[in-house]
Amino acid sequence: MINAALIQQLKQSNISKDSEKTSARVQEVWKAASAAEKRAVCDLSNSAKATIYRIFKTGGVSAKLAIALSQVLKVDPLYLTGETDERGTYNEAAVTSFLSRLGYDKLLIEQDKAVRRAQREAVRQEKETVEPEAFSVVKEAPQDEIVTSEDLAVLLKSLEIRAKAGIPQAKELLRQIKVLLLGAM
């Protein structure tokens, strides 16, 4: 999905290919939309309802509004601009191609980078918050129960694997255990 930050950076100049078709089609999808969908379009494009009503009169639609209408109301932006007569549905690849044709390649690349960065950060945070599952068993075990050397070997091997996988908590815990073991000798 095209995010709001990218949509807000799109120009507000007219991209309509057929003003009569654009006027009729935007009016058609707008009237069929629910109040929540209308609010979503206005929020996503950072536009007032009056701007959309102006499309009814002029037949001119901006890339910003075409994408917001397309995304929220699930309609092909080419249909809204009068480039095709098939209503179609919202399609990420088609919208990306549409924006690319309008000269927004640089913005699309920046959005892709931002999405990938956010995904990497989410994975990193998830790794940091994951508690080694093997140690939850030890925490739940009764205190008077004796932990065997086999249990410790399994726990250490599990911790070592997690540390190699890049989980910071596991690395630190493994380091602390090594310090304790070496200090005890």
pLDDT (average), residues 13-21: 91
Q: Does the pTM of the predicted model rise above 0.85?
A: no
Give the three-class secondary structure for 62: strand
The reported pLDDT for the residue numbered 147 is 73
Q: pLDDT of 33-49, one tens digit each?
A: 999 999 999 999 999 99
CA distance 12 to 6: 13
The reported pLDDT for the residue numbered 98 is 86
The reported pLDDT for the residue numbered 160 is 85
Of 184, 166, 81, the residue nearest 123 (C-alpha):
166
C-beta atoms surrounding 99 within 10 Å: 22
- % of the chain surpassing 70 pLDDT: 88
CA distance 97 to 35: 29
pLDDT (average), residues 111-120: 81
pLDDT band for 26, please (50, 70, 90 cuts): very high
Burial class of residue 59, CB neighbours in 10 A (0-12, 13-18, 19+): buried
Of 157, 160, 170, 164, the residue nearest 129 (C-alpha):
170
Which H/E stretch holds residue 91?
none
Mean of per-residue pLDDT scores for the chain? 83
Query: By the 8 A CB rule, do 29 and 75 touch?
Result: yes
Q: What are 24's two structure tokens? A: 């009729």
Q: pLDDT of 122-155, one tens digit each?
A: 777 776 665 555 555 555 555 566 778 787 888 8
CA distance 133 to 21: 60
Q: pLDDT of 36-93, one tens digit each?
A: 999 999 999 999 999 999 999 999 999 999 999 999 999 999 999 999 898 888 888 8
